[in-house]
């Protein structure tokens, strides 16, 4: 059974990417790994009290992402009877998705064309375009 | 006697004790400065000159080369260091250095650097201990700092009563220091800068400085009481930018006068050993340099240990190595750049240099090359002061929490008191309060260093144990996530 990684966030394009992946997974007997990356860098500047509560904040972020973003996506796979796994990571989205693909032995990465990054994406480019440029695997970008 | 008079008397009495100075040649050596420098010298030798052997490991740790993939999303070594540095970098780096040179001549710079290098060892010891004895609360948040290692570390070694007394005394001093030096003094100096650039005595704020204080208090209150993260985030992002801009401006001045650089270095080294016309000669230059370094990098006071203890690590020693970089960045890099700028432009030799005051002298040095820079400098001073206030409000709150069992009412009461003093500080430099607070800040070094000396054995065991395991390859670097 081959594995594909789907990068998901809060956008409609991401839902379409999951639907696309799940449909192909039914035909090809794929396992889908749904990964949501919370943008984070170890090189940011924070206040002492942010640091004190960071561990709790991280747990809260992971819980929110699991419940609000990954759970509805996992539902799509579940209803279609496709084998699936959900992961939440902190990091730079494009790099982390590539890393997860390598860790899970995936053969393919699927993402939506535009994410929920808004202005950040407009200025710095989307996760999809970074993946297309840097990933070592075939990448499918779903419009 | 009214309460104000009583307070003034008490504060003067404490200050006389804390800053008790013994006459050395023609000048005076405050014993508390000697106490801090001796601790630096002791831990330098005791820990085996880690300032020389350890920096590569420190930098690798900051770059996350030893961080496990599980640490993603948690407080990184870089973040802990950056937070601590933004609490220390401030007026000391801009005004303190200028004062040192106008009093001690260029030679004071060399002694300041020496004190900075020695301070690296003290900082290493106190920040390692802060992580080792930090408290992890059920919700995953952490509290650490000297009060915890003094209480719990000494209790482990059969000195429970002494540990409790030292910890409580430390916490009280930190509250005093937070309200005054970490708050009133900052608010006072920042207000003076704002009034200065808006027209000095004719400024529309000159008669109502408390308005500036009220704005500061409102902004700080939004951060520490209201939990408005955006203000803190903006500050935390702008401060490093200002620090880089400041260093860049120093470089511009140096490059502009590049032919005078060798002469300036000569003056620093020569002046350190044979200063002419400086009170107390070599000893005078040395004392002034040591004193300003101690004021600036806070090594031995234990304050940074509170900020560093939030890091995510399994090895307390790692944060010791990282924290060691702090006095280096603060004193050896930033203070030295200020010093070179002042020396190279020759402004320290101006007749009115000592009257001009700290920020004024530094400002004039920049003005010789970059006429518009004083405005940027004033902005930098205001921002540095604000970020120092945010850091010290946190230190004071943690000390209150320690004394009152993390009681939220007590912590909030402290925050309100803190903000009141922000406003008072802008309107009046209440000498007795500043005096009291300076004493409190430096008194922190007494329980802190007594504790560190008593636990010097374990400090060395932890630092050396980790260093050995890194060298033998037992602790290996971690690749990227994959």
Averages of pLDDT over each 10 residues, chain B, 482 residues: 75 85 80 92 96 95 90 92 89 85 88 95 97 90 94 95 96 92 87 83 81 91 81 79 91 92 90 72 83 88 94 94 95 93 86 73 89 88 90 93 91 93 80 77 94 97 96 81 42
Distance CA A96, CA B79 (A): 20
Determine the residue of chain B that is closest to A44 in CA distance: B79
Q: Give the residue from B170, B189, B143, B187 showing the smallest Cα distance to B389.
A: B187
Question: Can you name the residues that pair with A33 across neighbouring β-strands?
Answer: A5, A85
Q: Which residues of A touch B141 (CB under 8 A)?
A: 52-53, 55-56
Does the distance separating the beta carbons of B310 and A52 come in below 8 Å?
Answer: yes
Does the distance separating the beta carbons of B481 and A91 come in below 8 Å?
Answer: yes
Q: Which residues of A touch B87 (CB under 8 A)?
A: 48
Question: Can you name the residues that pair with A5 across neighbouring β-strands?
Answer: A33, A109
| Count of all residues that appear for chain B in the document | 482
Q: Give the residue from B32, B13, B37 showing the smallest Cα distance to B21.
A: B32
Does the distance separating the beta carbons of B76 and A42 come in below 8 Å?
Answer: yes
Distance CA B298, CA B294 (A): 6
Q: Which residues of A touch B306 (CB under 8 A)?
A: 48
Whole-number pLDDT of residue B301:
94
Does the distance separating the beta carbons of B312 and A48 come in below 8 Å?
Answer: no
Q: Which residues of A touch B223 (CB under 8 A)?
A: 47
Q: Report residue A142 as tokens.
A: 């779903």
For an interface test with B, the pick among A5, A37, A44, A49 (most B C-beta atoms closer than 10 Å) comes out as: A49
Distance CA B228, CA B337 (A): 35
3-state secondary structure of B368: coil
Whole-number pLDDT of residue B193:
84
- CATH number, span A3-142: 3.40.50.620
3-state secondary structure of B48: coil
Establish if B415 touches chain A: CB-CB under 8 angstroms.
Answer: no
Distance CA B140, CA B360 (A): 46
Expressed in angstroms, the distance from the first to the final Cα of chain B is 71
Determine the residue of chain A that is closest to B75 in CA distance: A51
- Per the listing, tokens 């960071």 go with A54
Distance of residue A94 Cα from the nearest chain B Cα, in angstroms: 13
Spatial CB neighbours of B45, under 8 Å, sequence gap ≥ 6: none
For an interface test with B, the pick among A51, A58, A63 (most B C-beta atoms closer than 10 Å) comes out as: A51
Q: Report residue B109 as tokens.
A: 């710079």
ipTM > 0.85, yes or no: yes
Q: Which residues of B touch A135 (CB under 8 A)?
A: none
Q: Which residues of B touch A101 (CB under 8 A)?
A: none
Q: Report residue B278 as tokens.
A: 């400086």
Task: Quote the radius of gyration of chain A (alpha carbons, Å).
Answer: 15
Q: Do residues B375 and B245 touch, judged by C-beta distance below 8 A? A: no
Q: How many CB pairs under 8 A join A and B?
A: 96
Determine the residue of chain B that is closest to A104 in CA distance: B482
Q: Which residues of A touch B73 (CB under 8 A)?
A: 38, 40, 54, 58, 61-62, 89-91
Distance of residue B138 Cα from the nearest chain A Cα, in angstroms: 10
Q: Is B260 left (phi over 0), alpha (psi -120 to 50) or beta?
A: alpha
Burial class, A24, CB count within 10 angstroms (exposed 0-12 / middle 13-18 / buried 19+): middle
Establish if B391 touches chain A: CB-CB under 8 angstroms.
Answer: yes
3-state secondary structure of A10: coil
Q: Report residue B428 as tokens.
A: 């009046």
Q: Do residues B376 and B245 touch, judged by C-beta distance below 8 A? A: yes
Task: Quote the radius of gyration of chain B (alpha carbons, Å).
Answer: 22
Establish if B141 touches chain A: CB-CB under 8 angstroms.
Answer: yes
- CATH number, span B23-471: 1.20.1740.10
Q: Which of B83, B480, B481 sits opposite A48 (nearest CB)?
A: B83
Whole-number pLDDT of residue B360:
83
For an interface test with B, the pick among A52, A59, A104, A134 (most B C-beta atoms closer than 10 Å) comes out as: A52
pTM of the model: 0.91
Establish if B307 touches chain A: CB-CB under 8 angstroms.
Answer: yes
* E strand map for A14-112: 31-39, 84-91, 108-112
Q: Give the residue from A8, A11, A36 showing the smallest Cα distance to A22.
A: A8
Establish if B481 touches chain A: CB-CB under 8 angstroms.
Answer: yes
- Enumerate chain A positions whose Cβ falls within 8 A of a Cβ in B: 38, 40, 42-56, 58-59, 61-62, 89-91, 96, 99, 102-103
Domain boundaries, chain A: 3-142
Determine the residue of chain B that is closest to A99 in CA distance: B482
Whole-number pLDDT of residue B481:
46
Does the distance separating the beta carbons of B239 and A55 come in below 8 Å?
Answer: no
CA triplet B109, B115, B121: central angle to 5 degrees?
Answer: 150
Does the distance separating the beta carbons of A99 and B481 come in below 8 Å?
Answer: yes
CA triplet A135, A138, A141: central angle to 5 degrees?
Answer: 90
Establish if B238 touches chain A: CB-CB under 8 angstroms.
Answer: no
Q: Do residues B122 and B39 touch, judged by C-beta distance below 8 A? A: yes
Distance CA B77, CA B478 (A): 14
Q: Is A32 left (phi over 0), alpha (psi -120 to 50) or beta?
A: beta
Distance CA A63, CA A90 (A): 13
For an interface test with A, the pick among B59, B66, B73, B394 (most A C-beta atoms closer than 10 Å) comes out as: B73
Whole-number pLDDT of residue B17:
86
Percent of chain A exceeding pLDDT 70 equals 92
Q: What's the rounded mean pLDDT across residues A116-138? A: 80
Distance of residue A125 Cα from the nearest chain B Cα, in angstroms: 22
Q: Report residue B128 as tokens.
A: 């390692």
For an interface test with A, the pick among B67, B79, B223, B384 (most A C-beta atoms closer than 10 Å) comes out as: B79
Whole-number pLDDT of residue B280:
64
Whole-number pLDDT of residue B308:
95
Domain boundaries, chain B: 23-471
HSE (side-chain half, CA atoms, 13 Å) at A12: 1
Q: What is the DSSP letter of B202?
A: G
Whole-number pLDDT of residue B482:
37
Whole-number pLDDT of residue A122:
65
Q: Which residues of B touch A134 (CB under 8 A)?
A: none
């Amino acid at each position: 059974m081959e594995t594909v990684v789907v990068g998901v966030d809060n956008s409609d394009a991401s839902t379409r990417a999951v639907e696309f992946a799940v449909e192909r997974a039914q035909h090809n007997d794929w396992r889908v790994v749904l990964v949501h990356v919370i943008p984070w860098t170890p090189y940011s500047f924070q206040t002492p009290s942010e640091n004190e509560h960071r561990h709790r904040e991280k747990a809260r972020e992971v819980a929110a992402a699991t419940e609000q973003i990954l759970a509805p996506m996992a539902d799509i796979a579940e209803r279609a009877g496709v084998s699936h796994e959900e992961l939440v990571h902190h990091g730079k989205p494009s790099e982390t998705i590539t890393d997860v693909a390598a860790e899970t032995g995936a053969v393919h990465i699927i993402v939506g064309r535009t994410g929920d990054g808004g202005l950040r994406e407009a200025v710095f480019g989307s996760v999809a375009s970074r993946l297309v440029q840097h990933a070592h695997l075939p990448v499918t970008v779903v419009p | 006697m009214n309460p104000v008079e009583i307070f003034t008397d008490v504060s003067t009495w404490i200050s006389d004790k804390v800053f008790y100075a013994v006459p050395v040649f023609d000048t005076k050596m405050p014993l508390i400065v000697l106490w801090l420098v001796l601790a630096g010298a002791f831990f330098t030798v005791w820990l085996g000159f880690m300032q020389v052997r350890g920096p590569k490991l420190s930098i690798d740790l900051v770059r996350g080369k030893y961080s496990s993939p599980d640490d993603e999303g948690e407080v990184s070594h870089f973040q802990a260091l950056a937070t601590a540095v933004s609490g220390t970098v401030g007026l000391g780096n801009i005004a303190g250095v200028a004062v040192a040179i106008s009093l001690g001549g260029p030679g004071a710079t060399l002694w300041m650097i020496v004190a900075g290098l020695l301070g690296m060892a003290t900082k290493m010891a106190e920040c390692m201990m802060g992580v080792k004895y930090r408290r992890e609360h059920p919700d995953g948040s952490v509290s650490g700092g000297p009060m915890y290692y003094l209480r719990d570390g000494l209790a482990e070694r059969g000195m429970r009563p002494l540990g409790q007394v030292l910890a409580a005394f430390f916490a009280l001093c930190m509250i005093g220091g937070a309200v005054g030096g970490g708050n009133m003094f900052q608010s006072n100096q920042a207000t003076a800068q704002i009034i200065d650039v808006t027209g000095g005595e004719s400024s529309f704020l000159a008669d109502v400085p408390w308005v500036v204080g009220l704005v500061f208090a409102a902004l700080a209150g939004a951060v520490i009481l209201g939990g408005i993260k955006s203000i803190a985030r903006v500050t935390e992002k702008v401060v490093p930018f200002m620090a880089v801009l400041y260093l860049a401006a120093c470089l511009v001045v140096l490059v502009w006068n590049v032919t005078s650089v060798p002469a300036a270095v000569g003056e620093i080294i020569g002046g350190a050993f044979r200063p002419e016309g400086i009170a107390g000669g070599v000893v005078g230059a040395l004392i002034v340099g040591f004193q300003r370094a101690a004021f600036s990098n806070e090594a031995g006071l234990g304050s940074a240990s509170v900020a560093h203890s939030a890091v995510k690590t399994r090895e307390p020693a790692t944060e010791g190595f990282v924290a060691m970089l702090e006095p280096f960045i603060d004193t050896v890099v930033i203070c030295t750049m200020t010093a070179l700028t002042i020396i190279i432009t020759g402004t320290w030799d101006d007749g009115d240099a000592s009257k001009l005051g700290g920020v004024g002298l530094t400002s004039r040095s920049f003005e010789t090359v970059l006429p518009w820079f004083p405005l940027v400098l004033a902005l930098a001073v205001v921002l540095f002061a604000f970020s120092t206030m945010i850091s010290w409000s946190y230190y004071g709150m943690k000390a209150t929490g320690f004394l009152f069992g993390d009681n939220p009412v007590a912590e909030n009461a402290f925050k309100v008191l803190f903000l009141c003093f922000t406003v008072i500080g802008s309107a009046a430099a209440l000498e007795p309060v500043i005096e009291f607070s300076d004493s409190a800040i430096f008194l922190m070094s007494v329980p802190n260093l007594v504790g560190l000396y008593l636990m010097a054995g374990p400090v060395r065991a932890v630092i050396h144990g980790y260093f050995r395991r890194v060298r033998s390859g037992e602790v290996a670097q971690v690749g990227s996530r994959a």
